[in-house]
């Protein structure tokens, strides 16, 4: 295919999108939410794995075994007990983290945060 380049034949494939961007996270960074990238770091993956292991693979709110894979309701989510809102000290504080099920996090916890209970 390289032999045809420059012979008046435009490429029909177009340009491949860059794989160096984080997509919506880039928009969030531009919008002042650079902390969203913290979730993609090796440090976060290690910390969250420790939190889940310390909880014995059980939801700390309901006791449900955390055996599913996302987006299953019984998949593990590491939740910030007190919302960090971009504060790095709260984000990385091991004492502020708990292992919960996706179902609990996406329903009960989100309602609490919308109401301002946490």
Which stretches does DSSP call E strand in 1-118? 76-80, 97-101
Mean pLDDT by 10 residues, the chain (118 residues): 61 66 49 87 97 98 96 97 94 97 96 88
Q: Decide: pTM greater than 0.85.
A: no
Give the phi and the psi of residue 28 in degrees, each rounded to 5. -65, -35
Euclidean distance between CA atoms 36 and 100, whole angstroms = 20
């Amino acid at each position: 295919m390289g032999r045809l380049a420059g012979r008046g034949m435009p490429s029909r494939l177009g340009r491949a999108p860059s794989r160096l961007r984080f997509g919506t996270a880039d928009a969030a960074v531009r919008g002042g939410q650079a902390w969203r990238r913290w979730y993609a770091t090796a440090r976060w993956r290690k910390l969250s794995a420790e939190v889940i292991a310390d909880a014995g693979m059980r939801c700390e709110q309901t006791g449900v075994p955390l055996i599913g894979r996302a987006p299953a309701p019984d998949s593990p989510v590491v939740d910030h007990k007190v919302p960090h809102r971009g504060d790095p000290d709260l984000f990385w504080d091991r004492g502020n983290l708990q292992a919960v099920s996706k179902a609990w996090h996406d329903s009960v916890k989100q309602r609490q945060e919308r109401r301002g209970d946490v």
